[in-house]
Structure 1
Amino acid sequence: MDVGQYMMHYGLAWGNSGNISSRVDADSMLITGSGTYMGHLEDGDLVRVNISSGEYDAAGKRPSKEIPMHAAIYEARPDAGFIIHASPFWTTLAACSDLQIESKLFVESMYYAERIAYVDYYHPGSRELGEAVREKAKEANVIILKNHGIIVFDSSMKEARMGLETIEMTCRMAATMQMTGLTPTVLKPETQQDFLQHSGYKPSRLW
C-alpha cells in the first residue's frame, strides 16, 4: 500500500510507529503486522483478522497489537472502511498537552475533522483502549489519544488520509496561534451547518 510510504514522506509517520487497516467484509479486516515499517509496505505485511473474535492465522505474520482499537471502530461504525492510527508531530503535541483543537476554522477542517473526540491514556493494544475508542467512534471520526497519538477513520483510504493530513495541519495552526498570541476566528454555527449540508463534497455524515 502506498499510503504508508505517503505518510512517511510527508511526516505523518516515523519509524515503525502507527498502523493501518482496511475492512474486507462485515467481519474481517486487513491490518498491518506488528513492527511493520510503514515506508515500505508489501502484501505480506498485511494480516487478515476476524473483527469480532480477533482471531488470525497464527502460522503467518503477527498483526499489530492495536487490533482491539481497530475492531471496535469497525463494529461501532458500519460506514468505516479504512483506519489510520499514527503519531504525527503536531497532532501528538496536542495529545501530550492541554492544546485545544478547534475544527471549525477553515473549509477542510470543517469537513474532514468535523468532530474531534478525546480518549484518556490507556496502554497501547489494551482492551480498555479499544472500548474507550468504541464509545468515542460513535460521535467522531477523529479521535485524539492522550499521550499516544491519533486514530482517524473514514469510508476509504483516500478520505482517511485526507482526514489525517487535515488534523495535522489544524493542530499545527492551533499550536502556532497559541505560541504567537493570535486569536482563532471560528465560523458561526449556522455557517458551519450550511457548509456541511450543502458543500457538495459528499453527503454529510450520519452521526
Structure 2
Amino acid sequence: MPENTAPATELTSQYVNQVASDLERNVKEQERITAEVTALQQQLAALQHDHTVLVNMQQALGVAATAPEPVRADSATVPSPRQKATAKSRRQAKAPATEKPAAKKQTGKKAVAKTVQPTLVELVRRHLTEQSEPRSAAEIATALSQAHPDRGVKTTVVRTTVENLVARNQAQRTKQGSSVFYTAPNPPEPTAAPKVETQPETGE
C-alpha cells in the first residue's frame, strides 16, 4: 500500500502544479488583452473627439460637411462572396438605361438636403442680429447648443467663427476688461438724396 500511495501522491502533485501554472498563464493573458482593449478604446475615443472638432471647424469656415461618418464597430460587415458580386453586376448590366436619370435625381435631392441645413457661420450671424446686447463667445455657444443640440457646438469653434466674421466686417468686437463681446454690425447709414438746385425763373 505505501508503494502505491507514493506514485499517486506524486501524480496529484504534478496535476496541481500544472493547473496552477495554466491558471496563472490564463490570468496574465487576460490582463494583457484587457490592457490592449483599453488602449484601443482610448484611441477610438480620441479619434472620435478629433473628428467632432474637425467637423465643427469645417462648418465654422462655411464649408459643407463632406467627410464620411465614422465607422462603428457593430456596423462592420464581412465582404460577400465573389459569386454574389458577380450576380449583382449581371443584374446591374441588365437593368434598363432609364434608371440612371432616377439615380441622378436622387443625388440632386441629397445635395439639396445638405445645402438646406444652415452653416455655423449663418447661425452665429443670425443670432447676433437677433440680440440687442453684446454677447460673449460662450453665451453664443450656449444659445446655439440649446437651439441646435445635434450640432455639438463648441465655444472654441464659435469664437473662431465670430473672429472670422469680425475680419470680414460682418460682426463687431467690444472689450470690457478681460472679457470680449460681439455684436452684429451697425446698419449702414442711409445716404442723403442729392439736393436738386432750382434756378429762379427769369421774367421774359
TM-score scaled by structure 2?
Answer: 0.18
Higher relative contact order (Cα pairs below 8 Å, separated by 6+ residues): 1
Bigger strand fraction = 1
**Higher-helix-fraction structure:** 2
Q: Please identify the structure whose Cα radius of gyration is greater.
A: 2
TM norm structure 1 = 0.18
